[in-house]
């Protein structure tokens, strides 16, 4: 008789959506994955209640599918926007949610009746890719999640690296142009100011100013303010010259930043995740070439630069894995 597997539930709390799912603690397929709008404007209590209900639903679905009892579920991992205090499980400030010093971990734990663990969403996304995604088996992993902003996560010697006060891994905020574009963080020339989803949309609008014919205006019915990174990827896939140029520039900006990170960390894998992966080879081929051109050859020789393999669920997978690491399950 072998020991029955234990299960962990993961919660990925975003500004727009909450995603919840479960998986066996030793890895394997996720189950009971579902998503609901966050509705942050209803307040922290309402969002916590929604999370608790979603966790219960995931437990019900997973226990039916896997044929296990509720007692097989040992805990809840939560990924949330930072900054937060892992030790105390408190979300300190979340501009996207409007919360201050909210004890999210203990509130979810009390609601579900299971122990819980908290880490930031970008760390969880990277940890998820390491646990069951594109970076499995690697000891040293850099994760970049490119959405509205650029989130980062670092796995060094097989563990998430948090730094002295838990805010390490702000990889979107390395300056690639000392006196470049002003970033939302106050610094100048941050990678995020050039290669985030918002920056891609901004650069596309700027590029249209050149007057070159493009599909982009048609895709947004002439309202250029509605251009998003997504619009750029669609136009690029249809062969649009302006959009392709924007994607190629994105690859070069990312290449400058990733080359620096490769010289710093000598990692085995860089996982680039988020909406930007929709640009596919049009992004990844020039990106790899730029890194090869700039970074130290011995470091490039042991490196893979790959798209994330868990679109939409890396955060949940990582939330599960962070519970497993924090509680040594």
Spatial neighbors of 155 by CB under 8 A, at least 6 apart, are 126, 127, 130, 135, 138, 139, 140, 141, 143, 161
Q: Which two tokens stand for residue 287?
A: 């990106």
Per-position x/- string for 90-129, each x denoting binding to its own copies as judged by CB under 8 A, each - no binding: ----------------------------------------
Q: Which two tokens stand for residue 209?
A: 């100013």
Residue bearing tokens 């539930």: 9
Among 130, 131, 265, 284, binds its own copies (CB under 8 A): 265
Q: How far is residue 254's CA from residue 288's CA, in Å, rounded to a whole number? A: 10
Should residue 162 be labelled a site residue for its own copies when binding is judged by CB under 8 A?
A: yes
Q: How far is residue 133's CA from residue 157's CA, in Å, rounded to a whole number? A: 17
Spatial neighbors of 66 by CB under 8 A, at least 6 apart, are 7, 24, 31, 72
Among 31, 230, 252, 326, binds its own copies (CB under 8 A): 252
Q: Minimal distance in Å, beta carbon 3 to its own copies?
A: 32
Segment near its own copies (CB under 8 A), from 16-24, 127-135, 259-267, 314-322?
259-267
Q: Is 182 helix (H, G, I), strand (E, B) or coil?
A: strand
Should residue 156 be labelled a site residue for its own copies when binding is judged by CB under 8 A?
A: yes
Should residue 267 be labelled a site residue for its own copies when binding is judged by CB under 8 A?
A: yes
Should residue 260 be labelled a site residue for its own copies when binding is judged by CB under 8 A?
A: yes
Among 16, 26, 29, 263, binds its own copies (CB under 8 A): 263
SS (H, E, C) 107-172: HHHHHHCCCEEEEEHHHHHHHHHHHHCCCCCCCCEEEEEECCCEEEEEEECCEECCCCCCCCCCHH
Q: Minimal distance in Å, beta carbon 212 to its own copies?
A: 22
Q: Minimal distance in Å, beta carbon 260 to its own copies?
A: 4
Instruction: Return the ∠ at Cα 252 (arms to 247 and 254), rounded to 5°.
Output: 90
189-228 residues in contact with its own copies (CB under 8 A) are: 189
Should residue 83 be labelled a site residue for its own copies when binding is judged by CB under 8 A?
A: yes
Should residue 81 be labelled a site residue for its own copies when binding is judged by CB under 8 A?
A: no
Max Cα–Cα distance, the chain, nearest Å: 71
- The H or E element that residue 304 is part of is strand 304-307
CB nearer to its own copies: pick between 186 and 209: 186
Among 96, 198, 266, 325, binds its own copies (CB under 8 A): 266
Taking CA atoms, 265 is separated from 127, 129, 159, 169, in Å, by 17, 18, 14, 12
Should residue 289 be labelled a site residue for its own copies when binding is judged by CB under 8 A?
A: no
Segment near its own copies (CB under 8 A), from 3-11, 36-44, 271-279, 298-306?
298-306
* Residues in contact with its own copies by the rule CB under 8 A: 83, 138-140, 152, 154, 156-157, 161-171, 173-178, 185-189, 252-253, 256, 259-261, 263-268, 293-296, 298-299, 301-303
């Amino acid at each position: 008789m072998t020991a029955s597997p234990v299960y962990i539930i993961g919660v990925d709390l975003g500004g727009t959506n909450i995603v919840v799912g479960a998986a066996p603690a030793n890895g394997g397929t996720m189950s009971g994955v579902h998503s609901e709008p966050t509705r942050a404007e209803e307040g922290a209590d309402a969002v916590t209640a929604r999370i608790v209900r979603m966790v219960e639903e995931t437990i019900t679905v997973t226990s039916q599918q896997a044929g296990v009892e509720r007692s097989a579920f040992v805990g809840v991992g939560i990924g949330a926007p930072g900054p937060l205090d892992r030790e105390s499980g408190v979300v300190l400030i979340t501009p996207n949610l409007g919360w201050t010093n909210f004890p999210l971990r203990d509130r979810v734990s009390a609601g579900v009746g299971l122990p819980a663990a908290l880490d930031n969403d970008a760390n969880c996304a990277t940890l998820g890719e390491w646990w069951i995604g594109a970076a499995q088996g690697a000891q040293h992993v850099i994760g970049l999640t490119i959405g509205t902003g650029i989130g980062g996560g670092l796995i060094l010697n097989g563990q998430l690296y948090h730094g002295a006060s838990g805010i390490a891994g702000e990889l979107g905020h390395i300056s690639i142009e000392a006196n470049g574009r002003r970033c939302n963080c106050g610094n100048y020339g941050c990678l995020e100011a050039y290669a985030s989803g918002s920056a891609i949309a901004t650069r596309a609008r700027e590029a249209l100013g050149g007057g070159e014919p493009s599909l982009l205006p048609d895709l947004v019915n002439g309202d250029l303010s509605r251009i998003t990174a997504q619009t750029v990827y669609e136009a690029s896939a249809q062969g649009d010259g302006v959009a392709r140029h924007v994607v190629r520039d994105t690859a070069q900006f990312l290449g400058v930043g990733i080359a620096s990170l490769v010289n710093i960390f000598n990692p085995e894998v860089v996982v680039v995740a988020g909406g930007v992966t929709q640009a596919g080879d049009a992004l990844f081929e020039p990106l790899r070439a730029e890194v090869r051109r700039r970074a130290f050859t011995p470091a490039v020789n042991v490196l893979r630069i790959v798209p994330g393999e868990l679109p939409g669920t890396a955060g949940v997978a990582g939330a599960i894995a962070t519970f497993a690491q924090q509680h040594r399950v």
